Amino acid sequence: MPPCIYCKTENFEKFKGVEHVIPQAFGKFGAKTPTLKCVCDDCNTFFMKELDQVLARETLEGVTRYKKGIYSREARPQTKLKFSLAESPEIGDFHGAMIAVDGTTGKLMSPPAQYKILNKLTGKYEIYLEHQLKDLKVTDEVYGKPGEREIGIIAPSSEALDTFIKKLNETGIPYKEKERYQPPFVKAMERMPDDGVSTLEVTVDGKIDDPVKRAVVKILFNFATYNLGPAETLKNEWDAARSFIRFTGKTLMGRVSQKPFWDGQETETMRFLDDSYNLRIENQNGNVVGVLQFYNLFTYEFILVEGYQIPPEHEIAYRFTPGKEPIIGRKMTKLEYLKMQLPE
Ligand SMILES: [Zn+2]
């Protein structure tokens, strides 16, 4: 039995669980759901808490799975990913309001009570939740003179509104009844038909930070191990990737783009259905590179091993669609591809 591919432990008492190559939150792939036995329980638990949940709840990929009918077990609001209502006629004065998505239904949750104020310097509305009010200094230079400020309060109910105004008074944040005032948000939500709510235009603001990158690289490392075998990824050459994923080592070089995943078969305007996850391990410019794309969103490319090659016959690409068995992709030369397009 090989040691753990991440921490290299040989304590074989600690290999009770299996690691899913693609986190379970993103679904299963028939009888061919890829799993690994060579990840120890400590690493497995660590990944579940620190990386998988971030990817599943706090990324565009993660919330897109709700749109595809794959839900989470908990409803708790996102903390790193920010959703705000985009400017549109049906939203009126509520644009900029911070909202969250209920992971168990994929629907918008009623927004927390929030203070909205126009920053005259940036021309943008700023949103402050109750716990952020203490950081807000309303100065004339930034927000305009009293009476000229554009201020609004958004609250899910009239009780929440009263509580929030009390809090504003305590904190000394300027707010007067005669200043522009917005009625509780919930009334506007009630006026919208049920299915109308889900069609509201929302601005999503997130950051692809190290936890997100580590979650992505872990999937690629798992995928490489699943296809090349642990004997390959246990080699020292793979240590930089291993250390970044498991021990916050140096961030791997990579890039995020919106380029098509299936080179030569997809273009900017023609893509395969956006219902799948695409993964690839290949040699590129003298390095081993992993490429991942979920739901036709971002294409993440990371150098997994620098200055190293895998045998060309081990380069591999797969397309995973939840509920179906994975489909294998084959690397073709341009000539082979063109020949395939020609009629016999
Ligand atoms: Zn381990």
- Ligand 1 centroid – CA 13 distance (Å): 12
166 CA distance to ligand 1 centroid (A)? 51
CA of 39 to the centre of ligand 1 (A): 5
pLDDT at residue 178, rounded to an integer: 53
Cα(45) to centroid of ligand 1, in Å? 10
- At 236, the amino acid letter reads N
Separation between Cα atoms, residue 130 and residue 294, nearest integer Å: 35
Which of 122, 130, 121, 136 shows the shortest CA–CA distance to 174? 136
What single-letter amino acid sits at 45? T
CA of 148 to the centre of ligand 1 (A): 59
Q: What residues pair up with 127 in beta bridges, in sequence order? A: 116
Distance from the alpha carbon of residue 213 to the mean position of ligand 1, in angstroms: 19
CA of 15 to the centre of ligand 1 (A): 9
Residue carrying the six token digits 């669609």: 321
Ligand 1 center to 33 CA (angstroms):
21
CA of 300 to the centre of ligand 1 (A): 25
Distance 303 CA to ligand 1 centre (A): 22
Q: What are phi and psi of 18, to 5 degrees?
A: -120, 150
What is the pTM (predicted TM-score) of this model? Answer: 0.84
- Distance from residue 14's CA to the centre of ligand 1 (Å): 9
Host H or E run for residue 244:
helix 239-247
Neighbour-count burial for 103-128, b at 16+ CB within 10 Å, e otherwise: beebebbbbbbbbbbbebeeeebbbb
Closest CA to 207 of 79, 293, 64, 68: 79
Q: How far is the CA of 87 from the centre of ligand 1 (A)?
A: 48
Along the chain (344 residues), what's the average pLDDT of each consecutive run of 10 residues? 96 96 96 96 97 94 92 86 77 76 84 88 90 90 89 80 87 68 50 50 86 97 98 98 95 94 84 95 97 96 98 95 93 76 67
Q: Ligand 1: distance of its center to the CA of 46 in Å?
A: 9
How many angstroms does the Cα of residue 242 sit away from the middle of ligand 1? Answer: 10
Cα of 234 to ligand 1 centre, how many Å?
12
| Cα 8 to middle of ligand 1, angstroms | 6
What is the structure's pLDDT at 340? 76
C-alpha separations of 315 from 217, 220, 261, 281 in Å: 17, 13, 15, 6
Q: Provide DSSP, 231-299.
A: HHHTSGGGHHHHHHHHH--SPPPEEEE---SSBTTB-SS----TT-EEEEEEEETTEEEEEEEETTS-E
How many angstroms separate the alpha carbon of residue 138 from the centre of ligand 1? Answer: 50
Please tell me the predicted confidence (pLDDT) of residue 64. Answer: 93
Task: Look at residues 197, 230, 113 and name the one whose alpha carbon lies nearest to residue 162.
Answer: 113
Q: Give the single-character DSSP code of 149.
A: -
